[in-house]
Amino acid sequence: MRRVRPPRLQALYSLAFVVGGWCAGLVQLSDNSFLWHLRTGHLILGSGIPRSDPYSFTVPGAKWVAQSWMAEVLYAVLDDLAGPWGIRLLSAACGAVVGGAVYKIALRFARNRLRAGLLAILALSSLMTIWAERPLVFGILGVVLLLWTVEVPDSWPARHVRVVVPAGIWILANLHGSWILAVGFVGLHVVGRWMEGAPPWAGTERALVVATTAGVAIVALNPYGVDLIAFPIRLVLRGETLDRVIEWSSPDFRSQAGMIFGAWIVCFLGCAALGRRRPGVRDIVVAAPFLLLALWALRNIAVATIVMLPVAARAIATDSDRHDDRSGVGWVLGALLIGLAGTWTVHAAGEEDYDSRFYPVAAMRSIDESGDLGRRLFTTDAWAGYVIAEYWPEQRVFMDDRYDMYPQELATDYANIAELRPSWDRLLDRYGVEVIVWPRTRGLTQALDAIGSWKEVHRDDVAVVFSRILQESGARAGARSVAERRASILPKGRAHDRGGRSRETCRPRDQRIVVR
């Protein structure tokens, strides 16, 4: 029998990035957008694709395009089969694929393990600053696949471009709105190659153009038709609303995430200016717009970093590593890396799947217990995701972070109330708000304390609950509390987490999201 040879150092590098991506993706579930995505997935499984808003009391029935419907269904199916732990494993698997792929891309073009590793570490550090369990991770995966197809003409996806690209674009379009950036990348690549003398009507560029055009055409075959195609464009045009959203703001280079991205920009420019090989016209045509997109909005950093990576790697390319670099120590290092992944996974399995420390858990529980659940609630757009996941349909929200759906006027009114702009209190009257759950340290809390029409009914380290005094008695008269109604129709039981601890739950038969 042939002797089993130790792994190469290159394989250990790849394994290290796969393990790092796995561990980074195995974080607790906490993203506020993910919470309503998961709730929507269960809604789709129960009653089909939503066409109108089911979650708010301000615009009930408003037209809504759930553009990530496929990701939402995937979340819900995993939640039904394996609980939130299954969703965490999915996020970890995505992180592992992205980590390994980013290093593979850097190595392919830099042709040097150390340089590729350093580039990949910086690129992943910048990318991971906005990593969360939301559908954006599928967009990142799709961009990685498309990038490999375009940049590596001899790869398997490139040899089957007429199938891989249309299918990839269609799937990505039903998972996340970043599909438009993937198509834009292909367009910039084709234009750049044309400027270098490779016309789009010949050779590999022609095949790529045909495949991409076919992909965009079949995107129309979705539950929302043209509305899903137009979704990214309509969203970007809502500039005044998006100015208030953190992920649509420009990077703050004084923050940790901003400094990491700034380091990536410096690295990229240094590679382009000082590397042995200057970027070609095509590389500049592709990289420059994506760099501007990342400087425009934080949410574009992940895609921009991936697109810019091959350009930087080509600039510092060296001769390929010539040494086999096999050693018995490789078995030890490989075992250590696998052991690290296993240990991290066991540790993650022993903790709560949801990290709800920064959500108004106790505040909403107090509302439920007092019988005020179901009244007109005003809370932050981020906390609304928690309310939707945990208390819908009994509780609806004023506004959450689906800024693509809510009217501009409502978004402005929400900001006016949250930021205590003139007439903020009259806006609360106008919308008939009866209960407010607000962060303990923000200005609105102090303002409500100072006026006589609101009474503080709960306070904890995270949130304060206010109830409108003038409407309190009328709202309660002659009605059973929502908590009593829940107790009469919902099965009460004892649920156990993986650590053996138990907690009392009161869960609807058709609802499986338990964040508390």
- What are the pLDDT digits (tens) for 265-280? 999 999 999 998 999 9
State the pLDDT at residue 242. Answer: 82
149-176, pLDDT tens digit by residue? 999 988 999 999 999 999 999 999 999 9
* Higher-scoring residue by pLDDT: 291, 474: 291
**Average pLDDT over the chain, rounded to an integer:** 88
Q: Could you give the residue range(s) of every CATH 3.40.50 domain in the chain?
A: 361-506
Q: Token pair for residue 487?
A: 């107790």
pLDDT at position 2 over 60: no
State the pLDDT at residue 321. Answer: 61
For β-strands 377-378 and 435-439, DSSP reports them as parallel
Query: In the chain, pLDDT over 70 holds for what percent of residues?
Result: 89
State the pLDDT at residue 436. Answer: 98
Is residue 234 very low, low, confident or very high in pLDDT (cuts 50, 70, 90)?
confident
Tell me how far apart the alpha carbons of residues 26 and 481 are, in angstroms, rounded to a whole number: 39
Is residue 498 very low, low, confident or very high in pLDDT (cuts 50, 70, 90)?
very low
For 101, phi then psi, to 5°, come to -70, -40
Domain spanning 361-506, CATH architecture: 3-Layer(aba) Sandwich (3.40)
Using CA atoms, how far residue 285 sits from 149, 183, 279, 439, in Å, is 18, 14, 10, 45
Q: Which of 428-442, 470-484, 495-509 shows the highest mean pLDDT?
A: 428-442
State the pLDDT at residue 451. Answer: 87
- 3-state SS track over 239-285: HHHHCCCHHHCCCCCCCHHHHHHHHHHHHHHHHHHHCCCCCCHHHHH
Is residue 240 very low, low, confident or very high in pLDDT (cuts 50, 70, 90)?
confident
Could you tell me which residues come within 8 angstroms of residue 246 by beta carbon, excluding any fewer than 6 positions away? 298
Is residue 506 very low, low, confident or very high in pLDDT (cuts 50, 70, 90)?
very low
For residue 328, give the 3-state DSSP assignment: coil
Choose among 384, 406, 405, 302: nearest CA to 67.
405
State the pLDDT at residue 504. Answer: 32
pTM summary value: 0.89
For β-strands 492-496 and 502-506, DSSP reports them as antiparallel
Choose among 358, 376, 389: nearest CA to 417.
376
